[in-house]
Structure 1
Amino acid sequence: ATIADLDPDAVNAARVRFVEYLTKNERDVGRHEEIVRDAAAWDVATLLNKARITKQGQITRSALLLLGRDEAAHFLSPVDAKISWVLRDGTNMTLDSQQFGMPMLLTTDRVFRRVRNLSIERMPDGTLVPSVLPQYDAWVIRGALHNCIAHQDFRLGGKINLVEHPDRLVFANLGQFIPGSVEWMLEHQSPPEHYRNQWLIDGMIRLRMIDQVGSGIRRMYETQRKRFFPLPDFLIDNTNSALPRVEVTIRGQVLDVNYSQALMRRADLDLRTVLLLDRVQKQQPVDAEALKSLRSLKLIEGRAPKIIVSAQVADWAGQKARYIHNRGVDDDYLCRLVVDYITKYGQANRKDLDELLLPKMADVLNAEQKAHKLRNLMQGMRRDGLVRREGPRSAGVWRLAEK
């Protein structure tokens, strides 16, 4: 491969970003103009050598991956140099998809523009006017994509995936998670001793795609925390020797507004404690020692497996009713779901109602309690003249009541 196999737009973008990197790391502001002037005079070969994209003028695999034309991907064979974006609905059905190839320096922005980053409202403390913010933070999306590129094990021949659901984004790349655990990264706030793709990472640092001091993961957590959103979820599969993978889920669904703000603004809670409490809210596994720590802080109550966030946390936000429901939705919302479903499909049997409503009910309820709640809900809707049942109790269907 030669410089002619590089994308001109990507090379121009690399020049801009590398100059930003140089000026950002030069404390003497008086030298910034000199740096910009010198960089403008570099030819492409000099630029790429200085940015550690090429080696002594030779095109590297990193240079092709980050700056190469898409048609030059054959030089990297058998590497599958692509990012796959998939859009799915609430039932996990695929609605749309697209494959994005090289150059990765520009591709991540193209992928970012495909994400439906909807505007949502939240109510700040002490105000009556909601503020509007995007469902996902732009830096978090780009940061997750750049991490996937930097840490992909390209020897395995797989591509990077981004699956967009209505309430979350799921990023996945192949390769072992070298630090071993996210907790290690959050606690040490420093990069591992070695990386899988060291030359690639050196270049990405100089193109300002990833952080220089290994704090990218922590910044993702802190950003979600400051936005009062659920923290990222890492699923690390290092046990599959053939295809180890790392999956990161970024949720774009707000926890209860006041509840989230009060929880995240507790000055005495460090990030590790917030991480553990976040897992409790999501009903994710928490080890006994961590539960003991949370219980000593009076942040949780209950017995395994029904550990819940304690009333003390809920009281901070004045949301006792929401605490009692343990994040279950109210009956009015469930009724609206039933009416909307029957309006669309004409009827609903028991299986339809189970699939529609049971996942929406409070996590603290067991299967029997959820079934009892569902029966009471439908009988209440029948008494209110909203629905009617046709057929026997076990095999009947529900339809909208005639007006």
Structure 2
Amino acid sequence: MTVFRSLKSRNFKLFFYGQSISLIGTWMQKTAVSWLVYQITGSALLLGVVGFVSLIPSLVLSPYAGSLVDRHDRYRIMVITQVISMVQAGVLAGMLFLGYNNILMIIGLSLVQGIINAFDVTCRQSLMVEMVDDKNDLPNAIALNSTMTNFARIAGPAVAGIILSTFGTDVCFIGNFLSYIPVLICLFMMKLHTPVIEKPVKSIWAELHEGFKYVSGDKELSSVIMMIGISSLFVMPFNTLMPIFAKDLFHGDAKTFSWFESAAGLGSIVSAIYLANLKHSNTLMKLIMIAGGILGFSLMLLSYSPQLPIALLFMVLAGVGMMGQSSAINTYIQTHAVPEMRGRAISYYIMAYQGLIPVGSLLIGWLANMLGPRPAVLIEGMIGLTATALFVYYKTREVAVKTA
């Protein structure tokens, strides 16, 4: 089948299967952490703080991680980050199993995971090229990777909702710890022929400067990175408030919250499958614009949804827009960046995507405390539509100048 064509590459197939299990555990833990923090504190602001510390390292460390990944064996870096992630999950599971529900420890461990992810995500994305035998299958591999991530976003919260209401939060964390075993087995089974890394002549800081100069000097790359940055800062953090929507606005429980996460994941899978079927990358710019419009519009409708089923429907649409925008931009960068700069170009994408979401999580947490959760989500939707309209205007004007 066309949609699964990149799985004919053995290394990517092993990566795909291992990560599929691990990411379900990751989303189980993520759902459980959000629910636990809101249960303990009842604070929208602290929900934002947890989101902030888990992703802020991507803002600070991603450019450095990109240069590091371009200088060293990417496969070894990925193995190391997975092992450390497993240890972090084990510490969190042990802490909660013993009944030590300390909010500062949870925030601290979330920060540790964020630091690991800053290197792990950059490494995984830049290693994708080495895993796929036929480079024409790279866009398909990226889209399938996104499909896998968002399937886990459905399955993880759904399983977490059942476990949270039946067994408690500690079982979710133990499950995440155990989920790293298959991914490590798959990594050790891979046979990657990574290029020999020559001893770098330039310092890592010089390479950091080179990466920034390359990305900022390419109008196409810089414009899409700026677009994902605005979306990550002002639009995508709406998800931070979903425990409040589930518990306070719709009078639900942990299962209700898991439905919100799963609904967004379902929409994301729809986008990812569509992108996996794309045979050419020349429509990516158009997809970025359409997806941005869908995301902004669905958030405006979600903000004042009167009933739970309607809210879940707009969460699905928000997932379609969010996944479509971020995955199309990711694919565009990976297929257009020159090979020797790919790691650094991806690192700026991750910095703009994952790195700005935590700042946005703090902003929307503060805004929800000031105005309430519904007006906060409405404002994010309006910003998303405005940013998309400006991006469309910029691209239309750029095309007009080129054809003049």
TM-score of the two chains, using structure 1 as the length reference? 0.22
- Structure of higher RCO (CA pairs closer than 8 Å, 6+ residues apart): 2
More helix by share: 2
More strand by share: 1
Structure with max Cα Rg: 1
